[in-house]
A and B are shown apart, each in its own frame.
Chain A
């Protein structure tokens, strides 16, 4: 499945300072769909190069990270259970505090 993953608000520093990743994620053996839960573990394994605790906590993202699936808060689409589709755009953004 082709997906576009974007990292912002400093999270890009965890993946070699690259903000936009066009990736191909395979469905796991026997699975019929790809969920955000699957994607998070794929990202953890394949894209996060350092300090994984800055990205994940347990099986979800750490506090202070917004997840947007096609420009929509994942809280509105079922969080970890959100089903992804071909060409979806998933954005991970850390909240900023500076001013």
Chain B
């Protein structure tokens, strides 16, 4: 391969990159601490100055004492807002006095937070318990590569501070649960939901109902987005619209279904817009209406939705959903889906119908006659696949069984002598669940030797070939 190649070169380069990255991150952290200190010192200094001396200072004091309370710096920073007749000084002043909590610093939260920080929301809170990953970067634009492996809240807060150091940014580096939600949400005027699962959505909506906070709710998967404002001025809450949770199989996740990065970005921007309208008391929030974005056909449709339901268990006339009830409500049980989903790990087969990726590798190296069936959808297969595997998606297995028989005969012809018992069949998928379903079916259809590769391609990447891409 390389002219003076050698694994040592590669590994020493890798290790030097790691060392430099660690040093870089330390330096960046130190810089942001010092910057914060500097800000603190300057502010204190200014305070002392104003108190202790100077005619010049007293003039600026006069400015900041005017009715709207905007300092000269603020007037300059937000001048383009102030110039808007429909927004103006009053809108900006309202915004600066308001507080917004963004739950989730992911795809939706990224753009929402950037604009909320920039526009001058007085106090901006961020809730997230996750860390930044490489697979987030295509859509979670608030994070930079330097923060991979670090907390999302920390990363998002640093980005917000670097845009606007004059507002208060509060980090809540924890998962939102019934035990802490009331305490956290009660510190803010408006809540922005940028989470990615049904239990969190019910939890946040119910908490907003109990506390009487407006909720700006957005969602995006694939090439579609949805947006509405709940619990605003007598409008419906999430439960009014969705009294019964959807079946878990109907809940697509970005990690499984994919998402075009810019789509949550658009919805997040619209969430910021709705929060700004509510906070500044300007315009008409999207309450009782829902915006549906279809990015593929470039269509946005705004539809009229039902009003508050008198039957609603959270906000209805006869409902008395209290803080205590909220604290004791089991949202994961209610929606039958986890708030912090771990990858599903099925165990459908007996041990002798399964094989580890390492063992499979040994058999390949020993020249065993076999057919490897990759049962992932075709668009997954196009991303990456093992050599000599054939792609028959699980959904088409029934119709394409003969292809396996053919491939087995072919293989036996080639490696005939060694395989008196015939070619064996292995099934593989992304994480090792569908491959078990496939093997169950294959057994039923007479392919009794079929086995699945435990943990799928993910385990191949982990245990056999660290250069094999994961997605």
Contact = CB atoms under 8 A, between A and B. Distances in A.
B436 interface: no
Contacts of B225: 96
Interface in A53-84: 53-54, 62-66, 68, 71-73, 75-76
Contacts of A65: 246
Contacts of A2: none
Residue among A54, A73, A94 facing the most chain B CB atoms (10 A cut-off): A73
A19 B254 contact: no
A10 B241 contact: no
A8 B295 CA distance: 12
A71 B226 contact: no
A99 interface: yes
B119 to A, nearest CB: 21
Given A93-B292, A99-B264, A68 B221 contact: no
Given A8-B294, A98-B221, A72 B196 contact: no
A64 B250 contact: yes
B249 A97 contact: no
Contact of A94 (B250, B253, B304): B250
A56 B292 CA distance: 21
B224 A97 contact: no
B241 A66 contact: yes
A95 interface: yes
Interface stretch (B44-52, B103-111, B170-178): B103-111
A86 to B, nearest CB: 21
Given A8-B294, A10-B252, A98-B253, A63 B109 contact: no
Interface string B168-202: 00000000000000000000000001111110010
Contacts of A75: 305-306
**Chain B interface helix/strand/loop/mixed:** mixed
Contacts of A96: 219-221, 224-226, 252
B346 interface: no
B422 interface: no
Contact of A63 (B108, B226, B246): B246
Contacts of A93: 226, 292
Interface string B295-315: 001000111111000000000
Contacts of A62: 246-247, 250
A31 B290 CA distance: 34
B122 interface: no
Residue of A63, A91, A98 with most partner-chain B CB within 10 A: A98
Contact of A73 (B195, B198, B221, B306): B306
A63 B245 contact: yes
Contacts of A95: 219, 226, 241-242, 246
Contacts of B201: 97
Interface residues of B, number: 46
Nearest to B197: A97
B242 A99 contact: no
Contact of A97 (B107, B251, B304, B306): B251
Contact of A10 (B221, B242, B305): B221
Contact of A99 (B194, B292, B303): B194
A22 B225 CA distance: 23
B244 interface: yes
A97 B241 CA distance: 14
A57 B257 CA distance: 24
Contacts of A54: 247, 249-250
A30 to B, nearest CB: 33
B106 A99 contact: yes
B224 A99 contact: no
A72 B198 CA distance: 24
Given A96-B252, A97-B251, A63 B219 contact: no
B125 interface: no
8 contacts: A54-B250, A73-B304, A91-B292, A95-B241, A96-B252, A98-B254, A99-B104, A99-B109
Given A10-B257, A73-B303, A99-B196, 15 more contacts: A8-B224, A10-B222, A53-B247, A62-B246, A63-B247, A64-B244, A64-B246, A73-B306, A94-B246, A95-B242, A96-B219, A97-B219, A97-B251, A98-B257, A99-B220
